[in-house]
Homo-oligomer: A and B are copies of this chain.
């Protein structure tokens, strides 16, 4: 089992953002939240406590287990590596990664304890905070509107973590639980024969020369759709209903 990264919120201002960050973390299988000097203190008291819980929407255990630190340096002291998210480029010479690159790197070191630093709303991390981090994560954004909400920034990193962790199993089995089984080519061919026979009778094919192209175009529609065996039976029922019903015979007869 991998050690999961810790999310470290430095001087967060709004308790709603702490709650929303906890929710995003739990959505994405992260659990360890660290707080450096949150504006409203920690643990929260009413009414902030309730406002954070509403935003957490059930991720209470993350809030309850969140640990409080006096400084960023203290919050990262036990970690093997720290990545700081920042929108601004600073006078710091450190490697800059995008969220995907950073998480790929983190996932490749499963035995190390990693921290992801997020700065306060509006102002972001200051240089003293960045000194605690070995690398910078830059979230790409619209250059004219680049400031993400704090919980949204947490989500982007948490989501990349989730995608990275899910990568192997996801490729294995495409989730399609209700699919019975795909039709065989033989079943499809019988369906095509049925349809084309009826179209022939219905004088659908304007000329013999055109017929092969028209047949091919029609078949492609169904081939693209990857029909199940049940859908083949349903569609043969459709052909029959359109051509053989007594009501229709009377109407057109």
Contacts and interface: CB of A to CB of B under 8 A. Distances in A.
A24 interface: yes
Contacts of A149: 20, 23-24, 57
Nearest to A61: B145
Nearest to A91: B178
Stoichiometry, as copies per complex, reads 2
A177 interface: yes
Contacts of A159: 156, 159
Nearest to A138: B175
A250 B202 CA distance: 11
Nearest to A175: B96
A172 to B, nearest CB: 13
Interface stretch (A37-45, A71-79, A110-118, A217-225): A217-225
Contact of A152 (B24, B175, B203): B24
A100 interface: yes
A176 B241 contact: no
Interface of A: 20, 23-24, 26-29, 57-59, 89-93, 95-96, 98, 100, 138, 140-142, 145-149, 151-152, 155-156, 159, 162-163, 166, 170, 174-179, 195, 198-199, 201-204, 214, 217-218, 221-222, 224-228, 230-231, 234-235, 237-239, 241-245, 247-253
27 contacts: A20-B152, A23-B152, A24-B152, A27-B147, A28-B141, A57-B149, A58-B145, A92-B178, A93-B178, A93-B228, A98-B163, A98-B170, A140-B166, A155-B155, A156-B159, A159-B159, A202-B242, A202-B247, A203-B247, A204-B241, A204-B245, A214-B234, A222-B225, A224-B225, A239-B242, A243-B243, A249-B253
